[in-house]
């Protein structure tokens, strides 16, 4: 019997490709329950919890589609501050080839979606491949369609990876296996009818294409599938950022449902008639004789805003309207707890932002900035591995080694005004920081813009030097030959 991991059976080196695919599929399916839960919360599609059965019976499906959704705001506010701007090699120079490949594959756009998936459901994946041998591909894959297995006793060495998809009638899978025991790293392509057993792939392949073949990445053991994990712990699985918010989100939704129900029933003063029988009306037969009587619906009097009190001593009293502000106080407290626990600035959640000084605003966002920088560290390691694999897929092992020791350059996670940046850069300039370093600190300035500014600065300096030389020749000292010529002309 296969040894179990916390999310499914563990792989063994002796497993056949089909056995590996079965185990990886079981582990991927075991994750779907949690992933669907976090996705539903992000989309605001979860049913009311923490409500009594009597309340649910009273309201039915009235609040089925209602959600005061903070589970979207929390991951979105962090993802907005995660933007890759450049890649730096081990020598400190910007790797323009890596950035060209990044843009060619639209990874500068899709990395935001992949990071959002990681924040919401704890992980996403990316595949680096070079099908034509010319330009490498970087493809981002949502969770539920890929899985990575790590070598026993390690947290970074990828032993195998699986990419799956379906056409409605068949499931397809590509299995990447790390080289081991002198065997090369291999790629296996399989298919099966949905729910059936895996078999070598034939659909969509030409007869000349191989089903099983060595990995052409150019490095022994390279599995080109990378897991982009959120908050991976040493002894645990990656976690969703929504996990902290879920309970309070459900509480807020239930409190709003109670508040809205109370507003419907008790927000207006309720009046009561004292000392009078219920309003009745006669029931007559076809000949006009009274045969019975029935109550007059009170809704008619409420609608008509009119009631006759015909009995002596009858009077009207009133119940005080319910004070619904107590609900709002508790909801606001729950939202403040969400802000504190997730380090989301309170003004993002409560909308309270009036006459706030710049320093106070910076302090309010310091928690989110620290959180975003922490994410940059861990996500940056996975992205650095992606661009390293891209260099391998392009056949440039030297550049791959340099990128492995380099780093990912992110946009500044702290939002500042242009005046604040200008003031900071001026002070850096005063202590001797080079212009090139200052230009790279400006948000949204691409490395290509910095290179263009360097060329323009050098061109300006060269033009100024040429102009100074020309002026010096025009007005500077003349040699002895020039003086003799001037004297002969005078004679």
Which tokens hold the place of 423?
């003031």
Beta-ladder partners of 86: 409
Residue-wise pLDDT for 5-29, tens only, equals 557 788 988 899 999 999 999 999 9
Q: How does residue 468 score in pLDDT terms, banded at 50, 70 and 90?
A: confident
Burial class (CB in 10 A: 0-12, 13-18, 19+), 438: middle
pLDDT score of 241:
93
Q: Is the pLDDT of residue 306 over 70?
A: no
The pLDDT of 104-108, averaged and rounded, is 94
Q: How does residue 2 score in pLDDT terms, banded at 50, 70 and 90?
A: very low
For residues 174, 180, 181, 183, the Cα torsion angle rounded to the nearest 10 degrees is 50
For residue 325, the surrounding DSSP H or E stretch is: helix 325-342
pLDDT score of 5:
53
Which tokens hold the place of 88?
């730096």
Which tokens hold the place of 286?
């076809």
Residue-wise pLDDT for 238-258, tens only, equals 999 999 899 999 888 888 888
Q: How does residue 318 score in pLDDT terms, banded at 50, 70 and 90?
A: low
In degrees rounded to 5, what are phi and psi of residue 380?
-60, -35
Share of the chain above pLDDT 90, in %: 37
The pLDDT of 105-131, averaged and rounded, is 94
Q: For tokens 């009119």, name the residue.
A: 306
The pLDDT of 174-189, averaged and rounded, is 87
Of 75, 4, 99, 91, residue with least CA distance to 338: 75
In degrees rounded to 5, what are phi and psi of residue 421?
-65, -45
Q: How does residue 267 score in pLDDT terms, banded at 50, 70 and 90?
A: low
Which tokens hold the place of 1?
């019997």
Q: Is the pLDDT of residue 478 over 90?
A: no
The pLDDT of 446-474, averaged and rounded, is 84
Q: How does residue 66 score in pLDDT terms, banded at 50, 70 and 90?
A: confident
Task: Say what the pTM is.
Answer: 0.80
Which tokens hold the place of 378?
């861990």
Which tokens hold the place of 274?
């004292």
- Per the prediction, the chain carries an average pLDDT of 84
Q: Which residues contact 24 (CB under 8 A, 6 or more apart)?
A: 11, 147, 149, 160, 162, 175
Beta-ladder partners of 183: 180
Which tokens hold the place of 192?
């099966």
Return d(Cα 13, Cα 287) in angstroms, integer. Answer: 97
Q: For tokens 């009133």, name the residue.
A: 318
| Cα 55-331-262 angle, rounded to 5 deg | 40
pLDDT score of 98:
93
Residue-wise pLDDT for 479-491, tens only, equals 655 555 555 555 4
Of 153, 156, 224, 238, residue with least CA distance to 187: 224
The pLDDT of 347-367, averaged and rounded, is 73
Return d(Cα 140, Cα 226) in angstroms, integer. Answer: 9
Which tokens hold the place of 182?
């002198």
């Amino acid at each position: 019997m296969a040894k179990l991991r916390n999310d499914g059976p563990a792989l063994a080196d002796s497993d056949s490709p089909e056995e590996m695919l079965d185990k990886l599929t079981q582990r991927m399916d075991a994750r779907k329950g949690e992933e669907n839960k976090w996705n539903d919360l992000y989309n605001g599609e979860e049913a009311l919890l923490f409500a009594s059965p009597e309340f649910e019976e009273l309201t039915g499906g009235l609040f089925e589609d209602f959600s005061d959704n903070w589970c979207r705001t929390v991951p979105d506010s962090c993802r907005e501050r995660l933007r890759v701007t450049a890649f730096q090699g081990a020598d400190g120079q910007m790797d323009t080839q890596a950035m060209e490949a990044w843009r060619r594959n639209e990874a500068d756009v899709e990395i935001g979606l992949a990071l959002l998936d990681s924040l919401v459901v704890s992980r996403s994946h990316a595949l680096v491949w070079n099908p034509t041998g010319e330009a490498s591909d970087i493809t981002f894959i949502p969770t539920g369609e890929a899985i990575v297995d790590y070598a026993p006793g390690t947290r970074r060495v990828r032993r195998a990876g699986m990419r799956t998809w379906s056409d409605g009638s068949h499931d397809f899978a590509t299995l990447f296996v790390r080289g081991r025991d002198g065997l090369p790293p291999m790629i296996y392509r399989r298919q099966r009818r949905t729910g059936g057993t895996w078999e070598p792939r034939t659909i969509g392949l030409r007869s000349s294409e191989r089903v099983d073949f060595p990995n052409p990445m150019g490095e022994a053991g390279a599995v080109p599938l990378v897991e982009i994990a959120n908050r991976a712990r040493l002894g645990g699985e990656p976690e969703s950022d929504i996990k902290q918010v879920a309970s309070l989100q459900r509480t807020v939704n239930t409190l709003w449902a109670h508040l809205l129900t109370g507003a419907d029933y008790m927000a207006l003063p309720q009046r009561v008639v004292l000392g009078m029988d219920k309003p009745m009306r006669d029931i007559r037969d076809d000949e006009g004789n009274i045969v019975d009587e029935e109550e007059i619906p009170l809704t008619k009097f409420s609608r008509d805003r009119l009631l006759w009190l015909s009995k002596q001593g009858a009077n009207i009293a009133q119940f005080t309207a319910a004070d619904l502000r107590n609900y709002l106080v508790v909801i606001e407290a729950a939202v403040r707890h969400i802000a504190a626990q997730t380090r989301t600035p309170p003004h993002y959640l409560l909308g309270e932002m009036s006459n706030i000084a710049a320093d106070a605003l910076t302090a309010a966002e310091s928690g989110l900035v620290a959180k975003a920088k922490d994410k940059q560290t861990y996500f940056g390691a996975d992205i650095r591995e992606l661009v390293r694999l891209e260099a391998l897929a392009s056949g440039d092992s030297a550049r791959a080694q340099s990128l492995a020791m380099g780093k990912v350059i992110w946009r500044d996670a702290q939002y500042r005004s242009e005046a604040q940046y200008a003031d900071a850069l001026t002070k850096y300039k005063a202590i001797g920081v080079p212009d090139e370093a200052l230009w790279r600190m400006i948000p949204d300035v691409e490395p290509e813009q910095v290179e263009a500014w360097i060329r323009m600065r050098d061109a300006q300096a060269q033009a100024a030097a040429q102009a100074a030389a020309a002026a010096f020749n025009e007005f500077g000292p003349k040699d002895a030959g020039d003086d003799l010529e001037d004297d002969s002309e005078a004679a």
